[in-house]
Amino acid sequence: MKAHLTATALCTLLMALPAAAQQEQPRSTTPSQAEQTPTSNPMADPHKDGGRPESHGGTVHAPQANAATPLPADMKPTAESLARNAVTAQQYGNLASKRHTSGAVHDLGDRMVLTNSRINRALTATAPELGNVQIPEKERGTFDSLARDADETQFGANVAQWVVQSYPQAIGDLEKLGQQGQFAELASTAVPEMKDQLSEAQRILQSASVSPNGQPTATGTVTDPKKKSD
C-alpha cells in the first residue's frame, strides 16, 4: 500500500512539472502585432486638402477665396470709372517708359504703371468683372495715333495732357472708394502717388512748347498728332 501511494505521488509530480515549466517560460522578445503599430500620427499627405501650405506660428498662409468684402452696388460705377482710368494710365505709362522720351516723361510713365497696376489688382480682387475693362474707345484712336506718329516732344506733352485731364476724376473716385474698408489702405498710399504724378505732368506741360502768348499749347485735351499736323 505504501509503495502504491508513493508511485501515485510520483506520477502526480511528473505531470505537474511540464505545466510549471510552461508558465515560467521567458517572454518572447519579438513584439506582437499590436506593439509593432506605432502610436504617433502618420506622416501628412502633401496632396491632402489641396496641398495646403504648412502653418507657421499657428497661422495657415493659404489664400482664402472670396475673402474680400463684396463691392456695394452704389459704388460699382465709381469702381468702373477708376478701373477704366487705371487701364488707360497703364497703357500710356507703358508706352512712355518704352519710347525714347525725356527723363521726366519716362519716369512719369514708370510711376503711372506701378500705381495703376496696383489699383487694378485691388479692384479686380473685390470685383473680378472689372478685369474685363478696356481702354475707352474714344481714347483708343488717339492712343494708337500717338504710338505711331508722335515725336518725342509731342508724345511727352500728350501723355502729360492726359494725366492733367484724367487724374483729378480718378483721384476723386479713389478717395470715395477709400471710404470702404477694403480700399482704405490702397487709397492712403495711391492717392498721394497720383497727386505727385499730376504735379509732375503739370511741370512737363509748363516746360513743353509754348504759344506766342506764353501759355502752354496743352489745354487739357489730348491731341491727335495727325490732326495737329494738318
> Quick one: average pLDDT of 178-199?
95
When divided into structural domains, the chain yields a total of 1
Q: Specify the CATH number for the domain of residue 141.
A: 1.20.1260
The answer, yes or no, to whether residue 163 has pLDDT greater than 80, is yes
- All three cell numbers of 19, joined, read 505545466
Range of the domain at 156: 73-229
C-alpha closest to that of 76 among 152, 15, 129: 129
Give the pLDDT of residue 32: 52
CA 111 to chain centre: 19
In contact, 122 and 183? CB cutoff 8 Å: yes
Q: Which helix (H) or strand (E) holds 2?
A: helix 2-23
With respect to residue 191, please indicate whether it lies within any of the assigned structural domains: yes
| 34 located within any domain | no
Q: Is the pLDDT of residue 203 over 90?
A: yes
What's the pTM?
0.62
Specify the pLDDT at position 15. 62
Residues in CB range of 178: below 8 A, 6 or more apart: 184, 186, 187, 188, 191
**Across-strand partners of 56?**
59
Distance between CA atoms of residues 169 and 87, nearest Å? 14
Q: How far is it, in rounded angstroms, from Cα 160 to Cα 202?
A: 7
Please answer whether residues 221 and 165 qualify as being in contact, where contact means their C-beta atoms are separated by less than 8 angstroms: yes
User: Quick one: average pLDDT of 66-87?
Assistant: 85
When pLDDT is cut at 50, 70 and 90, the band that residue 63 belongs to is very low
Distances in Å between the alpha carbon of 129 and those of 82, 89, 179, 181, 224?
Answer: 13, 19, 21, 20, 31
Pairs from 203-211 (Cβ < 8 Å, separation ≥ 24): 203/104, 204/102, 204/104, 204/105, 204/108, 204/156, 204/157, 204/159, 204/160, 205/157, 205/160, 205/161, 205/164, 207/104, 208/153, 208/156, 208/157, 208/160, 209/153, 209/157
**Which residues 6+ apart lie within 8 Å of 67 measured at CB?**
none
Distance in angstroms (rounded) separating the CA atoms of residues 163 and 198: 6
Asked whether the predicted pLDDT for residue 7 surpasses 50, the reply is: yes
Q: Is residue 40 part of a domain?
A: no
Of all residues in the chain, what percent are helix, strand and coil, respectively (each to 5)? 65, 5, 30
- Give the residue carrying C-alpha cell 519710347: 99
Q: Which of 18-22, 26-30, 46-50, 149-153 has the lowest mean pLDDT?
A: 46-50
| Nearest CA among 80, 72, 74 for reference residue 129 | 80
**Structural domain includes residue 26:** no
Mean pLDDT for the stretch of residues 155-178: 95
pLDDT average, residue stretch 15-33: 53
pLDDT-based confidence at 205, cuts 50/70/90? very high
Q: Give domain status of residue 67, yes or no.
A: no
The answer to whether position 52 is within a domain reads no
Note whether residue 130 is domain-resident.
Answer: yes
